[in-house]
Amino acid sequence: MTDLVWHEHTTLPRDTGLVVLPGGFSYGDYLRCGAIAAKSPIIDAVIKHASSGLPVLGICNGFQILTEIGLLPGALLANTSLDFICDFCHVRVEREDTPFTGHYRKGEVLRIPIAHYEGRFYLPEEQLRALEEEGLVVFRYCSPEGVTGEDFTPNGSPNGIAGIINRKGNVLGMMPHPERATESLLGSSDGAPLWASVNSWIRGRLGV
């Protein structure tokens, strides 16, 4: 069952399994993307949920909010083109051992849409190196054949980073929109296994 939680709420529904922070240019991205939404009353409950080990997924603006509240490192800056990009892209699955990617194979290439102006991931160089060494990159922009590089990174993210996870492995932030790629009628069904993965993980965790 899905419950919609308003930003002014202070608690999550009982027995919440997955928390999703969706895209949507909260507060018009004023100040900077996700900065005002990060002060919403519900955020304390989201942080508590993550601290319990249960999954939190931030998509697009949700990813930006996760960096603002400290559940994920880094920041999302303006695309190098300084253009809003709304198009399909390809991303490569870098890990299959997370609650969100258990139904994928490592190295699998997904076709998923993006829609953002501020999607270029940023971390200082030493921290970026540590992020890579710790294996915290989950999705990486690539060619349809799975080749990575600047030519296949639409927003200029270093190392083609499209999605990262925290050290505990339960908080994922990604700029591509898996919810917009759940059936072929939408142009791709490559996002559907993400939802199946996290559903299986939660059922296993709860023993149902």
d(CA 34, CA 38): 6
Nearest to 191 by CA among 202, 203, 176: 176
Q: Does residue 177 have an active-site annotation?
A: yes
d(CA 162, CA 93): 10
SS3 7: coil
DSSP code of residue 17: -
DSSP H or E stretch at residue 115: strand 109-116
Q: Does residue 9 have an active-site annotation?
A: no
Q: Does residue 179 have an active-site annotation?
A: yes
Catalytic residue among 49, 90, 116, 177: 177
Q: b/e per residue, 97-120, with b = 16+ CB within 10 A?
A: ebbbbbbbeeebbbbbbbbbbbbb
Catalytic residue among 33, 49, 60, 90: 60
Catalytic residue among 68, 94, 118, 179: 179
Matching residue, tokens 């083109």? 81
Annotated catalytic residues are 60, 177, 179
